[in-house]
Structure 1
Amino acid sequence: MTAMRARTARAWLWGVAGIIVLAILWEGYKWLGPADGVVIGGARVLPRTSDLAMPHVWDMAGRLFENVTRAETSGPLWLAVASAALVTLGIAAVGWLVGVVVGIGLSLVMLRWRIAEWGLLPWIVLSQTVPLIAFAPVVKSWGSRVVIGSFEWQDWMSVALIASYLAFFPIAIGALRGLQSPDTIHLELMHTYGIGWWKTLGRLRFPASVPYLLPALRLGAANAVIGAVVAEVSTGLQGGIGRILIQYAGQASGDPAKAWGPIFGAIVLGLVAAGSVALLGVILKNYRRVEVGT
């Protein structure tokens, strides 16, 4: 337990140190970099150092505690960002759950029938090349035509579907690799004892897949957040952090620090999503004896 706490403390310290280093690099470039940015071959590879393009770190942090607008009824920026982030987190969580079901389902199909792996795996990989910016409006258009009895498709469902579209890929690949990871000698032993495919799956393959599945689930959670934010931007869904990203970016010329509020919120949102999935590692700690790659 002490060693685990020490590893957790080191991880937090390294995370805080990384943030501090990033802030120092930001301010260092802003102080030393050229006003027009770094231009190589006619292309700007590093941004301008003006306050409009690169506000000071303390200005961006301080702006979070100021009101969103000058109206007296307006609340602090951090509260608006947190509220929008919670909306997006809920939608991303639904997308992640759908991605888990689809991803693990596909991995089981590919595990059970080798011909299914040959046929499905290339299409699963190819599916991730579709640009979300173009795909999201199409999903919203299709969804608006779905009416089953009293059920009507909601706009947030289109966002959740796109989030699941990004989430299922790493989960399917990670689960498949994990389920195929047991040694042949162990599989042959189960076969010798007359243990069927489903019992072998539950007693051997699933426990062996945990070291592969947990990172895939974390990556799927982060992808679900990315998909939800991009889909909110593309579909125009109100209330989420993707919408205020666009809204505040349009106000950046007059209030550049404000535009960074939802960006920080989206970063924290991704960390929360991936960290929440990491709690599964505590529940499944007895199955994490073998590290991936060993």
Structure 2
Amino acid sequence: MRRLLSAVVGLVVLAALWEGYKAVGNPDGTVLLGVRILPRADDLSMPHVWDMLSRLGRPELTGGRPVWEVVLSASLFTLGVTAAGFVAGTAIGLLLAVAMQRFRIVERGLLPYVILSQTVPLVALAPLIAGWSGNLSFGPYPWQDWMTVAVIAAYLAFFPVAVGMLRGLQSPPAAGEELMRSYAAGWWRTLVKLRLPASLPYLFPALRLAGAAAVVGAVVGEISTGTRGGIGRLIIEYSREATSDPAKVYTAMLGAALLGLVVAALVSLLELPLMRNRRRVRVVTM
């Protein structure tokens, strides 16, 4: 409840800052030494918050569905693709973290490339993935466009999980490892009984970052590959009407922002019971 209230307060503060800058800002923006350091505050660049909210209730096209329904449908499509990429990226990140913790040579040889992988721009990566996967199929089922977007989302999601989980698996103190060795516990039992519980405080922040990264990857992937049905494609379509209907563009952006909040909230719901049980175990064992 407290987190929900904090999110609502944050949205109210953001709306107040938006309207406050619009009220006092320069309609042509603030330019310093020939560089615009603050955006334009005119109605075309920054519509009023109530204009954006009211645009959600009006039809997308004459006689068509309301904008909120179109944005919701596109957000749900992107949420499904994001979920697929998030699950795949999390699984890959966990496997890499366990392998790097188990074998030091794997960590030394693989970790630099894991970090280097995130320097590749998505705009250049998306067409490559689309080209490589164009001839793939799963038996009678051909490769779908949404699968390419899911791969891009997984590509961004695996990195924070791999790095955060590796840090968590390496976090148990030496006394704990010595205790497990005194019990003649092997690597697997030490992993399950000691390292995995100790890694939870590192894992869930990494999962929240992975969720946000998966949303970004899905939206950028939809834009780069031209995948229809998602919020990324909707942003492109609405941006064509920016001069005649600027509030409409921001409705799609609002859907993308809320999509990121939903993913973060779902990860937090998973965190609450696990971390609560972890704290209870700690109190009992003390």
Does residue 96 of structure 2 align to residue 75 of structure 1? no
Closer, same or farther: CA 161–61 of 1 in aligned 2, 3 Å: same
Q: Which of 154, 166, 173 in structure 2 is aligned with 1:164?
A: 154
Q: SS of the counterpart of 2:247?
A: coil
Q: Which of 167, 176, 180 in structure 2 is aligned with 1:190?
A: 180
The whole-number CA distance in structure 1 between the counterparts of 2:21 and 2:251 is 21
Q: For residue 40 of structure 2, what is the aligned residue in structure 1?
A: 48
Structure 1 consecutive aligned stretches of length 4 or more whose deviation exceeds 4 Å: none
Q: Which of 253, 256, 279 in structure 2 is aligned with 1:263?
A: 253
Q: Which of 272, 281, 284 in structure 2 is aligned with 1:282?
A: 272
The whole-number CA distance in structure 2 between the counterparts of 1:18 and 1:186 is 41
Q: SS of the counterpart of 1:265?
A: helix
Letter of the 1:213 partner, please give it.
Answer: L
Q: Which of 87, 100, 108 in structure 1 is aligned with 2:77?
A: 87
8 Å contact kept, 1:211–1:288? no
Structure showing the higher helix proportion among its residues: 2
Q: SS of the counterpart of 1:45?
A: strand
Q: SS of the counterpart of 1:68?
A: coil
Displacement of 1:261 in angstroms is: 0.6
Q: For residue 142 of structure 1, what is the aligned residue in structure 2?
A: 132
8 Å contact kept, 1:211–1:287? no
Letter of the 1:17 partner, please give it.
Answer: V
Number of residue equivalences: 280
The whole-number CA distance in structure 2 between the counterparts of 1:288 and 1:89 is 32
Q: For residue 13 of structure 1, what is the aligned residue in structure 2?
A: 5
The whole-number CA distance in structure 1 between the counterparts of 2:279 and 2:126 is 37
Closer, same or farther: CA 46–288 of 1 in aligned 2, 3 Å: farther
Q: SS of the counterpart of 1:34?
A: coil
The whole-number CA distance in structure 1 between the counterparts of 2:133 and 2:279 is 41
The whole-number CA distance in structure 2 between the counterparts of 1:142 and 1:59 is 43
Letter of the 1:208 partner, please give it.
Answer: A
Q: SS of the counterpart of 2:57?
A: coil
Displacement of 1:288 in angstroms is: 4.8
Does residue 105 of structure 2 align to residue 111 of structure 1? no
Displacement of 1:175 in angstroms is: 0.7
The whole-number CA distance in structure 1 between the counterparts of 2:239 and 2:279 is 43
Q: Please, which runs of 5 or more residues in structure 1 have no aligned partner?
A: 1-7
Q: For residue 3 of structure 1, what is the aligned residue in structure 2?
A: none
The whole-number CA distance in structure 1 between the counterparts of 2:278 and 2:172 is 13
Does residue 9 of structure 2 align to residue 26 of structure 1? no
Alpha-carbon deviations, 1:73-122, whole Å to 9, x = none? x1110110000000000000000010111000000110110011011111
Letter of the 2:49 partner, please give it.
Answer: V
Displacement of 1:14 in angstroms is: 2.8
8 Å contact kept, 1:225–1:270? yes
Q: For residue 227 of structure 1, what is the aligned residue in structure 2?
A: 217
8 Å contact kept, 1:208–1:287? no
Alpha-carbon deviations, 1:221-250, whole Å to 9, x = none? 111111000000000000000000000011
The whole-number CA distance in structure 2 between the counterparts of 1:60 and 1:269 is 17
User: Structure 1 length normalisation: TM-score?
Assistant: 0.92
Displacement of 1:148 in angstroms is: 5.2
Q: SS of the counterpart of 2:40?
A: coil
Displacement of 1:53 in angstroms is: 0.6
Displacement of 1:17 in angstroms is: 2.2
The whole-number CA distance in structure 2 between the counterparts of 1:45 and 1:65 is 34
Closer, same or farther: CA 280–148 of 1 in aligned 2, 3 Å: closer
Q: Please, which runs of 5 or more residues in structure 2 have no aligned partner?
A: none
Q: For residue 49 of structure 2, what is the aligned residue in structure 1?
A: 57
The whole-number CA distance in structure 2 between the counterparts of 1:66 and 1:197 is 60
User: Structure 2 length normalisation: TM-score?
Assistant: 0.95
The whole-number CA distance in structure 2 between the counterparts of 1:29 and 1:132 is 32
Closer, same or farther: CA 112–54 of 1 in aligned 2, 3 Å: same
Displacement of 1:47 in angstroms is: 1.4
Displacement of 1:208 in angstroms is: 0.8
The whole-number CA distance in structure 2 between the counterparts of 1:36 and 1:66 is 29
Alpha-carbon deviations, 1:7-42, whole Å to 9, x = none? x32x33332222222212211211211121111111
The whole-number CA distance in structure 2 between the counterparts of 1:177 and 1:193 is 24
